[in-house]
Amino acid sequence: MSIDQIAQIVRACIETRTPITTRGAGSALEGSTIPLANGIVLDVSRMTRVLNYWPEDLQIEIEPGIIYDHLNNHLKRDGLFFPPSPGGSGDIATVGGMVSTNASGIYSVRYGGTREYVLAMTIVTGTGEILKLGNRAVKRSSGYNLTDLIAGSEGTLGIIGSITLKLAGIPEDRLQSAFTFPSETAAAKAVSEIRRYGIDIAAIEFLDRHVMRALNALKGYALEEVPSLFLEFHGPKSALESNSELAGGLCSELGGKPLILADGQRPWEIRHWVTDSIKHFKPGHRIVRNDVAFPISKLPAMVDYCHQLGEQYRIPMFTFGHVGLGLLHALMLADDHDPGQKQRVEQANHLIIEKAVALGGTISGEHGIGLGHKDLFVSEHGDAVELMRKIKRQFDPHLILNPGKIFDI
């Protein structure tokens, strides 16, 4: 499919007022690719061409259907990579889907989220018009930043036909370390301290004691069941060691101890199994999750709050996430055969998201709004939602692009 064909499809859909739900890999977690209002699903996953490549400028122009891992395989021969990974879905998520949800992953602590890597894009708006947004300048002070507006808009403002991305050099070396802590609060404080000291760190992942227990249950790791931080540093060897020592010193001031892993065990492999191990912790239960984000200093309070709710509502509560960004996932297990328990899980989830907003944060730091978070969208954005509705009508006056997602018109 080409951008011209996308424009033809949009024009045909305008005639019949047919809704269009654009779909990459369909891996988004908030239901944003569910065609709520029927209509057509526009699958762009076969638009996988590299349109232009400028390795000397660290830039590439691609079609939106390229899978994240495939793009990085293509780039690595030139020592380059596209850093903002979509976590465990890197082998399926398309770059168009990542842009549309402003995806981020473990290395976003150092490198930022997807939006920060989008220099330009071609879109088809809901009027069938083809628009080129942005250009290849890495720094610009030239009017409204429309690429930023489209990134994270979940297919509600336009269909992305091509994307020009900024790339980064693959770091010379990496160093991973892991620490255990006497309490979740101590681990959360260590994150804040590491950031405050300006230590150059690529990833800080937090796993609470319940997550460690679930990992042991699924994988038989025999990890100490206490809260832990997994750290990764990027750069030349000399810098890695001094950064790692500095971070290690701050962790030990807060009671942290190096996590002893069995031979051959690596922190990131363990991290990879977190969601699966929670899923298997109580067979027959369904995961209810959130992806709140908030100012980093609020992390201890947020983690504490989630565990208090877990106890008060008598529900399995697991917290983990890319905490270096102030991003936390609280996962709960709902028993669909027990309406009372299911309701308690949903209430707790709601309260956690409300708390994040009350602490100056967002209802979604990572996965987007889709359908899952729509009910709380106004609580975060207030009167600005009215302005968003006007913007939506400018891009999509016939309201055919992914209707019913993010907010109601």
Q: Is 104 in the site for ligand FAD (CB under 6 A)?
A: yes
DSSP per-residue string spanning 53-93: EEGGGTEEEE-TT-BHHHHHHHHGGGTEE-----GGGTTT-
Phi, psi (degrees; rounded to nearest 5) at 264 = 85, -15
Is 100 a binding residue for ligand FAD by CB under 6 A? The answer is: yes
Told to check if 155 binds ligand FAD by CB under 6 A, we report yes
Neighbours of 92 (CB within 10 A): 16
Cβ nearer to ligand FAD, comparing 153 with 177: 153
User: What is the 8-class DSSP label of residue 291?
Assistant: B
Applying CB under 6 A, what is the total number of residues that bind ligand FAD? 34
DSSP 356-399: HHHTT-BSBSSS--TTTTGGGHHHHHTTHHHHHHHHHHHH-TT-
Q: What amino acid occupies position 302?
A: M
Q: Round to whole Å and give the CA distance between 374 and 259.
A: 40
Q: How far is the CB of 97 from ligand FAD (least distance, A)?
A: 2
Among 133, 241, 251, 125, smallest CA distance to 188 is for: 251
CB of 237 to ligand FAD, least distance (A): 28
**How far is Cα 147 from Cα 195, in angstroms, rounded to an integer?**
29
Contact flags string 364-403 toward ligand FAD, x per CB under 6 A? --xx----------------------------------x-
> Which of 19, 105, 171, 256 touches ligand FAD (CB under 6 A)?
105
Point out which residues pair with 169 in neighbouring strands.
Answer: 80
Least Cβ distance, residue 308 to ligand FAD (angstroms): 26
Nearer CB in complex with ligand FAD: 287/385? 287
Residue 328 binding ligand FAD, by CB under 6 A: no
Please answer whether residues 404 and 155 qualify as being in contact, where contact means their C-beta atoms are separated by less than 8 angstroms.
no
What DSSP line would sit under 12-42, residue for residue? Answer: HHHHHT--EEEESSS--SSSTTS-TT-SEEE
Residues 61-80 that bind ligand FAD (CB under 6 A): 64
Closest distance to ligand FAD from the beta carbon of 212 (Å): 19
In the list 7, 13, 60, 101, the residue contacting ligand FAD (rule: CB under 6 A) is 101
Query: Closest Cα to residue 284, out of 337, 245, 215?
Result: 337
**Site for ligand FAD (CB under 6 A): which residue of 19, 86, 300, 404?**
86
Compute the least distance from the CB of residue 406 to ligand FAD, in Å. 9
Q: Is 125 in the site for ligand FAD (CB under 6 A)?
A: no
Pick 256 or 321: Cβ nearer ligand FAD? 321
Question: CB within 8 A of 291, min separation 6: which ones?
Answer: 29, 321, 327, 328, 329, 364, 365, 366, 367
Q: Is 32 near ligand FAD (CB under 6 A)?
A: yes
Q: Residue 87, interface with ligand FAD (CB under 6 A)?
A: yes
Region binding ligand FAD by CB under 6 A among candidate stretches 82-90, 134-142, 178-186, 292-300:
82-90
154 binds ligand FAD (CB under 6 A): yes
**Closer CB to ligand FAD, 22 or 59, in the complex:** 22
Site for ligand FAD in 6-25 (CB under 6 A): 21-25
Cα radius of gyration (the chain): 22
Residues lying near ligand FAD in the complex (CB under 6 A) are found at 21-29, 32-33, 44, 64, 86-89, 93-94, 96-98, 100-101, 103-105, 154-155, 159-160, 366-367, 402
